[in-house]
Structure 1
Amino acid sequence: MRLFLLLVFNILILLKDLDFGFADEASMVDGDRQVLLALKSQVSENKRVVLASWNHSIPLCEWAHVTCGRKHKRVTSLDLGGLQLGGIILPSLGNLSFLRVLNLGDNSFSGTIPKELGMLFRLQQLNMSYNSLEGEIPSLSNCSRLVTLDLMSNRLIHGLPSELGSSLSSLEKLLLSKNNLSGKFPTSLGNLTSLSQFAIAYNHMEGEVPDNIGRLSHMISVQLSQNNLSGVFPPAIYNLSSLRILSIVGNHFSGNLRPDFGNMLTTLKELYLGMNSFSGDLPKTISNISTLTHLEISQNLFTGSIPFGFGALHNIKMLGLNENSFGNNLVGDLDFLSALVNCSKLQVLDFGYNRLGGKLPIFVANLSIELAAMYMGGNLISGGIPHAIGNLINLQSLGMETNLLTGRIPTSLGKIIGLKELGLNSNRMSGEIPSNLGNITRLESLNLFNNSFEGSIPPSLGKCRFLLFLRIGSNKLNGSIPQEIMQMESLVGFYISKNLLTGPFPKDVGRLKLLVVLSAGNNRFHGNIPETLGNCLSMEEIYLGGNGFDGAIPDIRNLRALRIFSLSNNNLSGSIPEYLGNFLSLEYLNLSVNNLEGIVPTKGVFQTPEKFSVSGNGKLCGGIPELKLRPCPQNVVSKARRHSSNKKKIIIGVSIGVASLLLSVFALSLLYMLMKRKKKDGAKTADNLLSKSPFYERISYEELRSATCEFSSSNLIGSGNFSSVFKGLLGPESKVAAVKVLNLQKHGAAKSFMAECEALKSIRHRNLVKLVTACSSIDFKGNEFKALVYEFMPNGNLDTWLHPEEVGSSENHPRPLKLCERLNIAIHVASVLDYIHSHCHDPVAHCDLKPSNVLLDNDLTAHVSDFGLARILDQESFINQLSSTGVRGTIGYAAPEYGMGGKPSRQGDVYSFGVLMLEMFTGKRPTDQQFVGDLTLRSYVDSGLPEHVLDMADMLILHGEVRNNNINIAECLKMVFHVGIRCCEESPINRMTMAEALAELVSLRKRFFKTKRTTFRAGR
């Protein structure tokens, strides 16, 4: 019955095409209009502006992104690609019966693909790529005119519909890559005889490629990479004589290639066979494919010689032969290089990690002047490096590591000024490191370790201001470390271990703010380890063992990211710092064979014997039982606890003094309180508000004064418009807390106090700063005193992490935040705002979101603070009456409508969050002096997308992610910036909601930091 009704419906449509006129054309057009208006209604409010023309006052055929037929005025094309729209795809789109083109690609649509789209029998192009669609691919059997079906980059599951090949005979492009499709290819796929492009890479397809795919004689591009396909090279592919692109990388194919391979696929331009298990000789006939530009067969089991005939591939640009078993470790294995001299377009050549032997021929210097990358590491190549190699002036990467090369580094390498990566490590080279390597100012990675280089480290390397990794360990270098090296602030990894270096370690090491790994063990350094090492806040690994260092272990308590710390086999003395037990990230600590004494801590890393070593220190005591050390004498314990005891004595002494002072002023305070009855009533009001929440017992002024050492400036950790924040030690356990003292002499401070109490009384969220208790009292001078006590956040506020250059003392500079850490912080803040806007009992607007109001705990989890300007929304509450003068917020972060008297709103918080986002990822304040006139932080980012995304990004992010090969940093930043821009739109109605922003950020984190796929890269 359903098929019968569908047939009748189609017949009616056809009759209308023939203009029989019995259908009401006006009502059909109106039906199209209603479908599109319904689609617009479920798109997020902030994005409806791009569909502003979709209204009843403008004719349907004049709507943006809509095309109508000339005769019937019905919608024939709907092109919404790249508009970043969200929501679900409505089933009613299936009623647009004249639709020929439907493009919803590059948006944020979610949900499933409606099966009703299968009713669009006129549809020719369907593009839903780059969305978040789930579920199965629906039946499109009635869309017999479909030419293009593009569903790439979604979350579609299960396999290909079995009727795919039986009903879509006109299909030319079938693009399904980057989904979660599984199962085997349906045999009906071979019926798509018009198909020219087939892409299903990055899925979970399995089994063999069906033989009848050989019937697809029009096929130009086949992309099957990164699946679980198996069997021999698909025989059917040999029949695709028109094929230009073939990619089957990352599957389980095996066996030999046919000897006549190159005679069968003569039109190929790009051939990718890497990461499989192909074996045997590489067919010599491949050299007959004169059109070939890219040949990549890495990570297979090919043997024999590399064909000399590759020299006939005059169009070749990339040749990837690495990680096979080519060659016999004999002279003559490299003869093929002489033929490649004829390949004038060659840009990337990789024949590394094979079995190639013999001397490196001098004619390697005669390869294409276009050559940008050449990798030959991991072979048995001997002899010296030809001096003429400097002729390859366009080289950016040269990898010759792990061979048998001898002799000196040719000074001609200094002429290749564009070189970024040079790998000569693990050879038998000798002589001095040429000083003219300093001419390669764009060098990013220099790997010379595990050779026999001698002499000193050239100071000229200090001119390589982009150098990230300097690896020169395991040589015979002597002398001291040049001061110029300590000025290379770009360094991420500094490896100089196992040399003969001497002298004290440079104190300027603290300038290397981005340094992650310092490996300087097994040299002849002496003296104290510089205290400035504690300024290298990005540090994760430190290896200083096997030297002659003496003195105490330096104070490195600020190195919160430290994972490995090795100081073994030195002459260090003193005690083991107890704070090392508080390093949550510390995975291994080696302090063995020194002269350390005193107590071995028992917290953190010291709880697991496998994670630390303190053997060879005869004067140590205590520790966990597994160490079997002698018990500590009482005097040692007392000494270790002296600092804590002194602190307690100070607190007791202050408490006694306070108590005495209280007795003397009690009468005066009582009299003053009676005179200030009105203020007392106000304090009672605040206490009544506080009593509604489950805070701990109220705390007195005396206790707070004692806990903060009389509100000493040394305990001041921040100040704001209405308050100052002090670090304090509360209770008998001396628990660290943050005490926010209101400056009640400042107009509005009392209102701020009560606003914060009201806002926080009924909201609880893991990313809100925790209010411990409060104080509303009178100080010793009879003045009103109000304070809020919060949980202490040891990593301070986000502002100091984003702008460390403004902190002051370099010792307090936090390390740079990594991209993933910034994204996590943004998610934490967004989750708080979404909660207070939509999920708590009384919705609240924060009204003063900025980096200094985002606090970070030990794990860099963000906590939003300072609700002094908060407003309860959607009701005329007590606190709103208190704040009737309006909200100002902070310049640069406050929404523009606030400056014109606008009421506090959710959209105002979204604007502030957008500015916060842009600041987090550009490192620029919205009040930066470069933003003048019409140029704002938002317009600066908006105008730079997408081409200049890396130019706009905070440089510290790029350094922090330089070792992360699993993510596309530019793509991630581009999408993050889009969220920020959409949040701080000028008009409130165009901004995202916090729920939408949170969902997008969580999706970004999942996409870029949890999904890891292996991809081919010509080089390492």
Structure 2
Amino acid sequence: MASSGVLLPGFVWFLYLFCFLCSLPLSTCNETENDRQALLCFKSRISGPAGVLASWRNTSLDVCDWHGITCSTVSPCRVIELDLKSEGISGPISPCVANLTSLARLQLSNNSFNGGIPSELGLLSRLRDLNLSMNTLEGNIPPSLGSSHSLTYVDLGVNALTGVIPESLANSPSLLDISLQKNNLVGSIPVVTATSPPIQYLDLSYNHISGKIPSSLGNLSSLIDLLLTENNLVGSIPDSLGHIPTLQVLALTANNLSGTVPPSLFNMSSLTFLGLANNSLVGRLPSNIGYTLPNIQDLILSSNKFDGPIPASLPKAYNLRQLYLYTNSLTGFIPFFGSLPNLEELDLSYNKLEAGDWEFVSSLANCTRLTMLMLVGNNLQGEMPSSIGNLSDSLEWLWLRENQISGPIPPEIGNLKSLRRLYMDYNLITGNIPATIGNLHSLVHLSFAQNRLSGQIPDTIGNLVQLNSLKLDGNNISGRIPADIGHCNQLQILNLAHNSLDGNIPSEIFKISSLSEELDLSHNYLSGGVPVEVGNLINVNKISISDNRLSGNIPSTLGQCVVLEYLDISHNNLFGKIPQFLTSLSSLQNLNLSFNNFDGAVPGGGIFNNTGAVSVEGNHDLCTSIPTGGIPLCSTQVDRKGKQNSSALVLRIVMPAVSAVLLILSCIATIYWRKRMQENPDLKEFSEHMKKISYEDIVRATDRFSPANLIGSGSFGVVYKGSLRLQEDQVAIKIFSLNNYGANRSFIAECEALRNVRHRNLVKIITSCSSVDSNGADFKALVFQYMPKGNLEMWLHPGDLEHGERHILTLSRRINIGLDVAFALDYLHNQCASPLIHCDLKPSNILLDLDMVAYVTDFGLARFVFTTSNVQEGDSTSLACLKGSIGYIPPEYGMSAEISTKGDVYSFGVLLLQMITGQSPTDKNFSDGASLHEFVCRAFPDNICDVIDQTMLEDDSNAQEVIKNCVIPLVRIGLSCSMTSPKERPDMGQVSTEILRIKHVASRMYVR
């Protein structure tokens, strides 16, 4: 019995142990079941492609076998990882995830999760890695995330998060890696205290974070990467950042930082990447920078305000791979970079650097890894050396445009076999295009445009079979277009305009089916017909073959170019009927058939219903069935025997007699009109092609000069709207106040200008009146097409709104108007027989038709370059004060400088800045010597949002992208055009090209 008493307690303990062990599976099952239910709850609110979550079923026994699930290897088996990266899943993140209490890694990146980040995630005490990047999450970052003391990696990048970075997250004691890239976060970076965690990687790039960079970030003594790119940070760079001993990558690019760079930053021997681009930093680069940054590999200091020379020590930073110093104010000679064996990319564009003896090119031959050399927009001058052919075999980009380089293109350029982009445009280069250019078989883009090249296009150009873009426009290249260009079957742009090319257009060109953006052969001496192969260009957007000597009909195959947007075949000798198929080209937006020999009826429908988009003037045998200004109505054809017999009688008997009488009368009339024109020369200007009207006609048209019809007034007269019997549409009648000094000269100048110019964006004159009024005083008036949308001034600065209508100009419309005006000025300056200077460009002289197409008007101050035959002695002095309107007059005119086309460029620059900002240059804010140019320049580019007219971006969902890709480039053009020095202003041809490029960008971004 004693033994039994001893064994009983042991048996009881064994029984307890047995019961405990039996209970373990039940506990494990309960925990596994909790994980199952949490995952099923998470699944219930999301959707994805078929099969992604097919294994997630309530009937599945083991959740550890479900897709994307990893469980622990020790008992009890719990879910420790949930990885559904890049699965195409959408829907909200359910708070049920927080019930996975053993979860250590949550990876949901690159999906379409939406809604907010559940604050319950902060309850996951074992969570180390959290990656919710590249989704569409919104709202604030939950402060509760800082409660999870195990977090070492957080990536919430590329979402739509807002608010501020919670301090609790920044103070998480074990946080090692944070990435919050490309969100819409606002607010300031929270101050990180001395107790901050040992963060090694901190990325807050691509957000809307504002405020200053906290100096306390310098306390993160373990920090390796600090990325704050693309935010709205302001102020100076804290000196404390330069004292982080482990920092290797510092990226502060594209903020609003200002001031000088703290010296400590340029003394960080640990740095391998330093990005300070696109700020407003000032000062000079330290002379010893090459020694104090011995490990630097990428030095990105572009688009700031650094000045002075490039430090001679910089080539001593032997590890440099990328050096970007473009768009600063650096001066002096380009140093020798030949001691940088790892250098791959060198961009020194848009500074004030000089080439000297060009020996720096020889030194670069030692940089055997060089792939990109960008020297655009400096002051290199001189001739390119033959040593340019010794540059790296790896060189892919060589940009030397806008440098006043002279002399020939070295034939050694053909040694650079890896070149893909070669730009030497907008220089003073002479001589022939070397045949060795055909050795560059990898070329994709080639531009020698706007130089002084001569000779012929070498046949070897056909060897460039990978070429996408070939631009040789604006030179003096002669001879025939080589048929071998047809071998360049990847071409999308071919521009040979403004040269002296002759002969037929090779049909091989029209077999390049890849031509999609532009084919421009205008302003040459090409002859023959338009090849029928033009129908092969089924993808082309623009064809311009104007101002040549082409003849024949428009081939019917042109109707196969179904995406054609722009067609200009004006100023040729083409004849026949205007093809009906042009009405079915639904993409066509601009059609210029003017000054040919077309006959018959103008088609109706399609683009011909948009009078502002079509130009057919100068075809004297055209008629129309719909009353249109300047084109006669088509007469009804009669097919009756009596009429036929009468016609035959007229031809046989009556016509010879009538012809003799008319000949006599014609001689008498000629003598009479010659005498009248000698007495009144302004009549001569329009006698050949315009029907005159009388003073009484003007009185009737304006309802006796009724104030209700008055639509404008200026220095030299007033403008009425009215109706003439010879014109069914309403007209605008400009009546000159001849008592005002200069008004008579203004009338003559405007007559002379409008007699010699023809362009779709220049106001078209209908007729004129040079007579006497009811009191016997001289009376002069001009009659124009009436523009129902008024002028640009009333749209930019609306007064009282009529009938509640809001005059809002969207960005798209402003771009179009700017392009219309630029096209008009380019035509006046560069395409007229004698260049014409407008001299009074301003918003009130820009008229808008029903389709908001812009027309330049008021040529009362216009002057032809080198045309003095109609200017009597003393006229130049009398015109000294007639150079434009206050605010738009270029500064050199105030110093009695010669009137030039650069004066119009200045006025256009001011006009463009006014269109973008909504600010008039004569606003009271621009007193005491300030100007609209300076106002915009101070904000450009980082604070440009502060000065632009916000109404043009109203309701634009992608406003930031639009500002970056459209508004800022437009502002850059406006600023360059309105530079004080005429030599620094671009040509209007260049301006037109740039704005056209911006228009294409805007259209792709669906700007309204």
TM-superposed CA distance for 1:183, in Å, is 2.1
Higher mean C-alpha deviation, range 416-425 or range 209-218:
209-218
1:122 aligned residue: 126
Q: Which residue of 2 aligns with 1:528?
A: 529
Quickly say closer, same or farther: Cα 1:319–1:79, change in 2 above 3 A: same
* Amino acid across the alignment from 2:527: H
What's the CA shift string for 1:607-659, capped at 9, x where partnerless? 44543332322233338766333222224999xxxxxxxxxxxxxxxxxxxxx
Counterpart of 1:587 in structure 2 is: 589
1:245 aligns with 2:244: no
Q: Which of 185, 206, 211 does residue 202 from structure 1 map onto? A: 206
> Could you tell me how far 1:126 is from its partner in structure 2?
0.8
Letter in 1 for 2:209: M
Of the three residues 146, 150, 155, the one matched with 1:141 is 146
Which residue in the other structure is 1:419 paired with?
A: 419
CA deviations over 1:839-883 (Å, ceiling 9, x no partner): xxxxxxxxxxxxxxxxxxxxxxxxxxxxxxxxxxxxxxxxxxxxx
Preserved CA contact (<8 Å) 1:190 1:214? no
- Picking from 157, 165, 177, the partner of 2:162 is 157
* Aligned equivalents of 1:108, 1:352: Cα separation in 2: 41
Please list the CA deviations of residues 552-603 of structure 1 after superposition, one character each: whole Å capped at 9, or x if unmatched: 2333222222222111221122233344344333332222222223333454
What secondary structure sits across from 2:98 in the alignment? Answer: helix
User: Which residue in 2 is equivalent to 1:345?
Assistant: 342
More off after superposition, 466-475 vs 606-615: 606-615
What does 1:365-380 correspond to in 2, within 5 Å? 365-367=362-364, 368-380=367-379
Query: SS state of the match for residue 598, structure 2?
Result: strand
- Whichever residue aligns with residue 361 of structure 2, its letter is V
Partner of 2:296: 292
Matching residue within 183, 186, 190 for 1:182: 186
Contact 1:249 1:276 in 2 (8 A): yes
Q: How far apart, in 2, do the equivalents of 1:625 and 1:246 lie?
A: 68
- For residues 30 and 543 of structure 1, do their structure 2 counterparts lie closer, same or farther at Cα, with a shift above 3 Å needed? same
Counterpart in the other structure of 1:27: 30
Query: C-alpha distance in 2, partners of 1:121/1:1010?
Result: 45
In 2, are the aligned partners of 1:487 and 1:511 still within 8 Å (CA)? no
Partner residue, 2:460: 460
Contact 1:510 1:534 in 2 (8 A): yes
Distance, in Å, in 2 between the alignment partners of 1:213 and 1:424 is 46
Offset of residue 250 of structure 1: 1.7
Q: Which residue of 1 aligns with 2:888?
A: none
Deviation at 1:259, TM superposition (A): 4.2
**Alignment deviations for residues 181-224 of structure 1 (CA, whole Å, 9 cap, x no partner):** 22222235775332221112222222222232222222211222
Alignment pair present for 1:322 and 2:305: no
The aligned counterpart of 1:538 is: 539
Q: Which amino acid aligns with 1:523?
A: N
Q: 2:375, 2:400 within 8 Å by CA — same for their partners in 1?
A: yes
Secondary structure of the equivalent of 2:560? coil
Query: Does 1 or 2 have the higher relative contact order (CA < 8 Å, sep 6+)?
Result: 1
Task: Give CA-to-partner distance per residue, 1:484-531, whole Å, 9 cap, x none.
Answer: 112321110001111111111112233111112011111110111112
Distance 1:61 1:581 in 2: 66
SS in structure 1 of the partner of residue 362 of structure 2: helix
**Alignment equivalent of 1:630, drawn from 624, 629, 632:** 632
Q: CA deviation at 1:106?
A: 2.8
The CA distance in 1 between the partners of 2:638 and 2:231, in whole Å, is 63
Partner of 1:224: 228
TM-score normalised according to structure 2 size: 0.58
Q: CA deviation at 1:46?
A: 4.3
List 4+ stretches of structure 1 deviating above 6 A.
20-23
Q: Secondary structure at the match of 2:141?
A: coil
Alignment of 1:731-746 (within 5 A): none
Q: Aligned partners of 2:368, 2:596: CA distance in 1, in Å?
A: 55
The answer to whether residue 548 in structure 2 is matched with residue 547 in structure 1 is yes
Residues 296-335 of structure 1: per-residue CA shift (max 9 Å, x gap):
11222221111111111100000111111111xxxxx224
Would the alpha carbon gap of residues 280 and 586 (structure 1) be closer, same or farther in structure 2, given more than 3 Å must change?
Answer: farther
Equivalent of 2:281, from 266, 270, 278? Answer: 278
Residue-by-residue CA offset, 1:323-357 (whole Å, 9 max, x unaligned): 11111xxxxx2241x2x111110000111111112
Q: Which of the residues 83, 88, 95 maps onto 2:92?
A: 88
Comparing 143-152 with 58-67, greater Cα deviation is found at 58-67
Deviation (angstroms), 1:443: 0.9
Alpha-carbon separation, structure 2, partners of 1:125 and 1:637: 91
Equivalent residue number for residue 492 of structure 1: 492
Q: Give the fraction of aligned pairs with identical amino acids, expressed as a percent.
A: 33
Equivalents in 2 of 1:106, 1:310: separation in Å? 41
Kept in 2: contact 1:259–1:284 (CA 8 A):
no
TM-score of the two chains, using structure 1 as the length reference: 0.57
* Of 358, 361, 370, the match for 1:361: 358
Structure with max Cα Rg: 2
User: In the superposition, relative to structure 1, how do residues 342 and 197 fare at CA in structure 2: closer, same or farther (>3 Å)?
Assistant: same
Q: Supply the distance in 1 between the matched residues of 2:420 and 2:358 (Cα, whole angstroms).
A: 24
Offset from partner CA, 1:256-310 (integer Å, 9 cap, x none):
22345312x3311111111222222123343211111111112222211111111
Q: Is the 8 A contact 2:626 2:633 kept in 1?
A: no
User: 2: distance between equivalents of 1:391 and 1:316?
Assistant: 21
| Whole-Å separation in 1 of the counterparts to 2:175 and 2:542 | 56
- Aligned-pair distance for 1:54? 6.9
> What CA distance in whole angstroms lies between the structure 1 residues aligned with 2:537 and 2:1006?
31
The answer to whether the aligner puts 1:268 opposite 2:271 as a matched pair is yes
Alpha-carbon distance change, 387 to 273 in structure 1, aligned in 2, over 3 angstroms: same
User: 1-side partners of 2:193 and 2:577: how far apart?
Assistant: 73
Partner of 2:619, secondary structure, is coil
Residue 449, structure 1, aligned to residue 449, structure 2:
yes
Give distance in 2, aligned partners of 1:526 and 1:189. 78
| Structure 1 residue matching 2:381: 3-state secondary structure | strand
Alignment of structure 1 residues 466-615 onto 2, 5 Å:
466-516=466-516, 517-555=518-556, 556-601=558-603, 603-615=605-617
- Structure 1: unaligned runs, 5 residues or longer: 1-19, 328-332, 639-964, 968-1007, 1013-1020
Asked if the contact 1:69–1:75 (Cα under 8 Å) also holds between the matched residues in 2, the reply is no
Indicate conservation of the 8 Å contact 1:360/1:382, yes or no: no
Change (3 A) 1:598 1:165: same
Q: Which residue is 1:855 aligned to?
A: none
Structure 2 unpaired stretches of 5+ = 1-22, 641-963, 967-1002
Say whether the 8 Å CA contact 1:40–1:48 is kept in structure 2.
Answer: no
Query: Counterparts of 1:235 and 1:260 in 2: how far apart (Å)?
Result: 6
- Aligned partner of 1:383 in structure 2 is 382
Tell me the distance in 2 between the aligned counterparts of 1:52 and 1:452. Answer: 71
Distance 2:533 2:323 in 1: 48
1:619 alignment counterpart = 621
1:605/1:57 CA distance change after superposition, 3 Å: closer
Distance of aligned partners of 1:98 and 1:147 in 2 relative to their CA distance in 1, 3 Å threshold: same
Amino acid at match of 2:617: S
Matched position secondary structure for 1:438: helix
CA contact (8 A) 1:258 1:283 kept: no
Shift of 1:410: 1.8
Q: Distance in 2 between matches of 1:462 and 1:370?
A: 29
Aligned pairs, number: 619
Aligned Cα root-mean-square deviation (Å): 3.0
SS at match of 1:398: strand
> SS at the partner of 1:359?
coil
* Pair 1:98–1:260, CA change in 2 (3 A): closer
Structure 2 Cα separation of the partners of residues 45 and 430 of structure 1? 63
